[in-house]
Structure formats: structure tokens, C-alpha cells
Amino acid sequence: MLSFAEPLQLECPRCHAPLEAETWITVDAEERPDLVARILDGSLHTIECPTCGQNGAVPAPLLYHDGRNERVLFAVPPDMDEEQWREVGQTLLWSLIGALPEVQRLPYLGQVQAEQGLDGIAQVITAEHLTGSSEEAPGEKPPIVLAVEAILQAHTPTELQQAMQDHPILASPQAIAILRELAHAAFQQGEEEAGSGFSRAADLILELQALSQPQRAEDAAIAAVPAPPSHEDPLDELAFAVLRTQSGADLAAVVDQHPELLDENSDMLLEQWAQAARVAQKPRIADGVDERRRALQAMRAEYQRQRAVLEAVEAFLEADTAEEIEATIVEYGELLTPAADELLARLGDGAEPESAAVITERRAWLAQVRALLPDQAPEAQAEG
């Protein structure tokens, strides 16, 4: 994935309400013609305050890449001094080059043309008839959508391999993380079908990466082929998952999905990842990881204090039969505490529908047990 957006924390100039804007800072014309259209109509960096309805432009930079025409444009935001915008532009350019396949890292990438804001880029696109200008066929689907459709239409491992070869965008190391992000955004907007499609596509790619070579369906029952090293660094996936969090609740949800983050060894690995990002001249990314590492360190300390509750909940969810569930409740008194109920609620919020239903059922079971327990308070008052 070449196009990239990051969340910015802003304040409405009219009502002063806090805003979070998902802002595109890198756009690849061939990958996202829909975003090119928004550059041309001036809406790419425009947001509306949900509190007062005020519309305004986000003062953000933008790196525009058109590989077909070998052009790289950089929109300089207003009120950004030259030293700062050159540093930001270089960071975005290195990120773009790192995401491109090696054969596409051509000399033109070093010839970045700076323009004043999105209007400047739009004028160049229109004047030079670059990819994404008004002559482009209307209704053309972005490459990522075409790739997801091809993945979902594959019915055999061979067809899945062919879809991957036909859509090299899926071979990007960031493909899984971005598909998960697209799924999350779609679910938040109520687009259940689109969210399920993006999520399923990510799952299928992960399954394919577990194969060492393309296999015919008839060979699958005969030969078991060892899985090769994945091209996607698990540490990259972990770091990007942490970077996408914007609140303590977001970070807690990521920890639920990646409990290894509570291991002290993960802190050391993330520190090394941040150092590598600084060496690659990506200081903002490195600072973002370090900031979340500090929050994870606090969560890790809290985890040690609440370990008994966590172990109780884990044992409770692993119990299968009614007898095992009852025995777990008897063994772990922590299950009847508010802390255990809060943890189960949080796990349910971040779980898949089937797992969430099980957690809801178990919470109801514990609520029934708590309701049957005698209330000791009145007796204590009577004795007094």
C-alpha cells in the first residue's frame, strides 16, 4: 500500500471542540484515483466539525505520486517554514520509496516538485493531464478494491495464488495492516459487508503466506509442505497496530488482540524498532512508538497487580462443560469481582461475533451466581 493517512488531533476554530481528522498525507494516483478526484475538487483535506458544523481545511502536507507519468509532487501546507517542510517531505518520500517494489525505485523519485498546498498540486495535475485528471473514466474502482474482489472470488489455493500475482498491491508488507484498518473503518461507518470483505481478504492472504509454494488442490491431501518464513515481519505488524491507537481504550483493545505486548521482551523489541525508524529518518513514527511504549509500561505494571483476575478470566473462558465452569467459579473467587466483569466486557467488545456471544453468555452466568450470593451488609448492621 502506497497511499497513507494518519489521524490528527485538532480544535474547531469556531466552537473549540476537539476534533480527530483522518488525514491523507501520501496519495498514489494509480492506487487511489478516488483520492485524486478529491485533490482536484479540493475536498481531500476538508473536514466538518460534528459539534457546530463548521467546515475547514486541515493544514497538512501531502506527497503525491504518479508512477505512470513519473511525477512526485509535494503540497506545502500554509505557515510551515522551509526547514520543516523539507524534513517532512523527505520523511514521506523515504516512506514511499520503502513501500515501492525495488524495480520501481527509479531516479524520478528524487525529483520532487514542491507546490503551495493542494491547489498547487491540483493545478499541475490538470495542466499536465496526469493520472486522475477529469478525462479519467468515471466510476473506476481503486486497485485495492479490485484486489480484494479478486481474493474473495478465489475458491482454490491455485486461484488465490493467481489473484495475488495479478494484484501485486497485495504483496506489500503493509497490506495486512491496511486491510485490517479499512475493515475497522468500514465497520465504524456501518458498512458491514465492506468491513467483512476487507477482514476476510486479510485472513486469506495470511493463510496463503503460510504456504511455502503454490500447490494444486489435488496435491494438498498428499504432500504437507513446510511453511516458509513470512515476508511480513510480525514486529512490523505489532508496531503499526500500536501506532494506530489514539487513546488508552484503543491501546487496551490492541493488547487484548496481542497479549504479547505485556511481555517485557516486547518493550525491548519495540524500542529497537523505534531506533531503526530514527535511523531511517522517520522521527515522528519513532516518537509515536516510544510514547505508546510508555503507556504499555504502565499497563504492564497494572497487569502485574491484576494478574490474579486475568488468570481467573482466562481459566473461566477455557472451561468447556458446565461442570468445568462451576468448578472454575468455585476455584477463582476473583471471577465474582467487578474487575473480572469489566475485563470480560472489554474482551467481548473486541472479539469476533462468535467469541463475543460466548463471553456475553459467561458474563450472564456470573451475574446469576452473584445474584444468588447472600447480601452480608444487612446482617452486619443487625449484629451491630
In the structure grid, which three cell numbers stand for residue 34, read together? Answer: 478516488
78 contacts 56 by C-beta, under 8 angstroms? no
What is the predicted pLDDT for the residue at 207?
A: 67
Residues of the chain with pLDDT under 50: 132-138, 212-232, 376-384
User: Bridge partners of 20?
Assistant: 9
What is the predicted pLDDT for the residue at 210?
A: 61
186 contacts 160 by C-beta, under 8 angstroms? no
109 contacts 93 by C-beta, under 8 angstroms? yes
What is the predicted pLDDT for the residue at 76?
A: 92
Q: Residues 143-157: pLDDT tens digits?
A: 667 777 787 777 776
The interaxial angle of helices 143-153 and 175-188, nearest 10 deg, is 90
User: Bridge partners of 87?
Assistant: none
Q: For residues 8 and 143, what is the distance between their CA atoms, to the nearest angstrom?
A: 26
User: Bridge partners of 5?
Assistant: 24
What is the predicted pLDDT for the residue at 64?
A: 95
What is the predicted pLDDT for the residue at 384?
A: 41
pTM listed for this prediction: 0.40
What is the predicted pLDDT for the residue at 377?
A: 40
What is the predicted pLDDT for the residue at 144?
A: 65
Long-range contact set of residues 301-309: C-beta below 8 Å, sequence gap at least 24: 303/262, 306/339, 308/334, 309/334, 309/337, 309/339, 309/340, 309/343
What is the predicted pLDDT for the residue at 375?
A: 59
